[in-house]
Amino acid sequence: MNRTISIAGATEVLRPPTDGLPYLRHDRAGDMRLDPSPIAIADGRIAGFQRDDDAAVRIDATGCAVIPGLVDCHTHLPFAGWRAEEYELKVTGVAYEEIARRGGGIASSARAFARASDEEILGQARSLVADMLTCGTTAVEGKTGYGLSVAAEMRAVRLGRELGADRVTGLFAHAVPDGYEADAWMDEVDALAAGCDVDALDIYVESVAFANEHLERLGAIAAREGVALRAHVEQFNANRSVPVALAAGARSVDHLACLHPDDIAPLAGAECAAVLLPGAELMSAERTPPARELVDAGAICALATDCNPGTSPIVSLPLIVGLAVRRYGWTALEALLACTLNAAWVLDLSSELGSLEVGKRADLVLLDGPISHVPYRFGRNPVCVVVRSGEVAWVRPDAVWRVAA
Ligand code: NIG
Ligand code: FE
């Protein structure tokens, strides 16, 4: 079978300043190129930036921008059900921590996870991944964390693999399960990390969850297991967890709404990504992280949906781009870098994904206008064609004319 695709006519094609970069520090986001160019795809890979008039599939990208497939590097898939009733409590003034103390929050999603069958959980997660694809997401990370028991966390790892998430993160330290002290649960986390097939370990550091000493301990566990350390930090309070995470060799620190000003420079100088989650910030009325400062200081920034039933029931990375541009004072290029190459680096996938380079997996998204329209036409989905692994994976009904086979 001839598995060639040619894309021609695009006015903007988003490419890195040079090939082979594992990530691009954000003070260099403006070096990304947007020149028009045709794209040739063969056997699932980007074959070159030239015309291929004999390709089996020809895509007319007139008036379009072509960007790499978006990488959602922080989601909580798979989970069971939703928590809309909590959202109403939140917007009418009840704090997230208070909802958690009343037995809501993560514990309530854990009860739903326990009640739901594998098929129900996977059905919901697959439908969310399908929604994400229509918004341009071609690679997704998922986390455990709604198990809250050893057996249920092991089930969550298995379901994450069955879902086919590109990366599965063990967020075994998400909330302290009933009947445990945090230290005793960390002993179970240690055993789970040793016994489960996960790509990274994650922890939620907050007054209602774990403390910096547990983050330090998880760093040692991650180093022993040879997996990446990630951490939910500084979401609702400033706990000064970033220096602890950096000392522990974290791959990413995520949320950062309450990042301390003294931690900006060390984070920006480290080989550790600042994963910002403006959807959770908006939906949970969090503070706004010093995102402009992080960019100017040369941090490796990433953006993600944080898709979860509590703080961010959002699937659309174009929406997240719009939020980041407005809330952070970022350019569209800065926001797109954060959910392509740098997001792929967070997942240790940037040699394969995240930028349009010869040899990389052919994951591409056609936008039906210039990239500047992604944040500007806020809330509208600009994605009209998605190619994943060299196959046309989704075409918006009004763009069917663009694809000729
Ligand atoms: O990333 N903050 C901790 N974890 C999730 C929310 C979990 C939940 O409320 O279900 C987050 O925001
Ligand atoms: Fe999260």
Q: Encode pLDDT of 199-220 as tens digits.
A: 999 999 998 899 999 999 999 9
Q: Locate the ligand 1 atom nearest the alpha carbon of residue 74 and give its number.
A: 1
Q: How far, in Å, from the CA of 57 to the mean position of ligand 1?
A: 42
Residue 296 Cα, ligand 2 centroid: separation in angstroms? Answer: 25
At 279-311, the pLDDT tens digits run 999 999 999 999 999 999 999 999 999 999 999
Average pLDDT over residues 131-141: 98
Q: Is 278's C-beta closer than 6 angstroms to any atom of ligand 1?
A: no
Q: Quick check: CB of 310 below 6 Å from ligand 1?
A: yes
Q: State the pTM of this model.
A: 0.98
Q: Given the CA of residue 96, which atom of ligand 1 is nearest to it?
A: 9
Residue 311 near ligand 1, beta carbon < 6 Å: yes
| Average pLDDT in the chain | 97
The per-residue pLDDT for 97 is: 80
Average pLDDT over residues 180-192: 98
pLDDT at 316: 98
pLDDT tens by residue, 383-394: 999 999 999 999
Please name which ligand lies nearest the alpha carbon of 145. Answer: 1
- Ligand 1 contacts CB of residue 109 (under 6 A): yes
Tell whether ligand 1 has an atom less than 6 A from the beta carbon of residue 280: yes
pLDDT band for position 2 (50/70/90)? low
Please list, residue by residue across 148-174, b when 16 or more beta carbons sit within 10 angstroms of its beta carbon and e when fewer do.
bbbeebbbbbebbeebebbbbbbbbbb
Instruction: Indicate if the alpha-carbon torsion angle 276, 279, 284, 285 is positive or negative.
Output: positive
Distance separating alpha carbons of residues 384 and 395, to the nearest angstrom: 6
What pLDDT was estimated at residue 208? Answer: 84
Res 250 pLDDT > 90: yes
Best residue among 76, 143, 205 to mutate for probing ligand 1's pocket (most ligand atoms within 8 Å of CB) is 76
Determine how β-strand 45-48 pairs with β-strand 137-143.
unpaired
Average pLDDT over residues 96-100: 84
Does the pLDDT of residue 344 top 80, yes or no? yes
Residue nearest to atom 9 of ligand 1 (CA): 310
Whole-number Å distance between alpha carbons of 122 and 235: 28
Confidence of residue 102 (pLDDT cuts 50, 70, 90): confident
* pLDDT > 90 in the chain, percent: 96
Q: Residue 385's pLDDT is what?
A: 98
CA of 361 to the centre of ligand 1 (A): 31
Would you state the pLDDT for residue 128? 98
Question: From CA 203, how far away is CA 262, in angstroms rounded?
Answer: 22
- Report the residue among 308, 312, 314, 320 best suited for mutation to probe ligand 1: largest number of ligand atoms under 8 A from its CB: 308
Q: How far apart are CA 249 and CA 231, in angstroms?
A: 11
Per-residue pLDDT at 3 = 87
| Contacts of 72 by beta carbon, 8 Å cutoff, 6+ apart | 132, 137, 139, 140, 141, 304, 305, 307, 317, 339, 343
The residue whose CB lies within 8 Å of the most ligand 1 atoms, and thus the one to mutate among 204, 205, 303, 307, is 204
Task: Assess whether pLDDT exceeds 60 at residue 96.
Answer: yes
- The pLDDT tens digits for 349-359 are 999 999 999 99
| Closest ligand (CA of 309) | 1
Protein residue closest via CA to atom 10 of ligand 1: 310
Q: Residue whose CA is closest, atom 11 of ligand 1?
A: 311
Distance of CA 40 to the CA centre of its chain: 27
* Gap between the Cα atoms of 270 and 258, Å rounded: 19
Q: How many A from CA of 145 to the centre of ligand 1?
A: 9
Establish whether residue 281 lines the binding site of ligand 1, counting it when its CB lies within 6 angstroms of any ligand atom.
no
Q: With 80 as the cut, is the pLDDT of residue 1 above it? A: no
Domains of the chain: 4-67+355-404 (2.30.40.10), 71-346 (3.20.20.140)
